[in-house]
Amino acid sequence: LHLVALNFPLSGDMRADFQCFRQAQLAGLTSTYRAFLSSHLQDLATVVRKTDRHHLPIVNLQGETLFSNWESIFDGNGGQFNTHVPIYSFDGRNVMTDSSWPQKIIWHGSTANGIRLVSNYCEAWHTADMGAMGQASPLGTGKLLDQKVYSCNNLFIVLCIENSFVSDPQG
């Protein structure tokens, strides 16, 4: 399953699932992509289909492995990943080195176990108000689920996860 960043940073007021869907389509990707965020409807840990959570690796756009599987992100260690494996945007840029993302921080709105933090997810990702707070993770820590709180007016990286694996019918 591919983990890909949106092509631009967003504040806490976002239509992230739609953005993930749209940018994946524009990039010619045929799978369904959902935001790597907890929402008012769903905890982050349950965004990927149950049948795909254990046996499929989580990879970047180039197929390099970030996690052995979806479940391993939520084992309580904060989603530790190899910082030498880049995370790319849908248009192929490395979010860790590209200046389009001046702050190398991702929104997630979750606990280290992928459960939604209702007090820290920018009012279900509907506000960029400076007084509202969102849970996010500085990627420099090598963790996707580091537990830091930021004002929702910040422009941070938003990740998208391929939420179901569809094998190539020509395969």
Q: What is the CATH number of the domain that holds 36?
A: 3.10.100.10
Q: Check residue 168 and give its pLDDT.
A: 52
User: Is 74 among the domain residues?
Assistant: yes
What residue numbers bound the domain in which 150 lies?
Answer: 1-165
The predicted-structure confidence for 54-64, as pLDDT tens digits, reads as follows 999 999 999 99
User: Is 171 among the domain residues?
Assistant: no
pLDDT at 82 exceeding the cut of 50: yes
For residue 39, what are the contacts with CB-CB under 8 A and spacing of at least 6?
17, 109, 116, 121, 124, 125
Write down the pTM of the prediction.
Answer: 0.95
Q: Check residue 106 and give its pLDDT.
A: 98
| Mean pLDDT, range 146-161, rounded to an integer | 97
Token digits for 91?
A: 């248009």
H or E element: which one contains 123?
helix 122-125
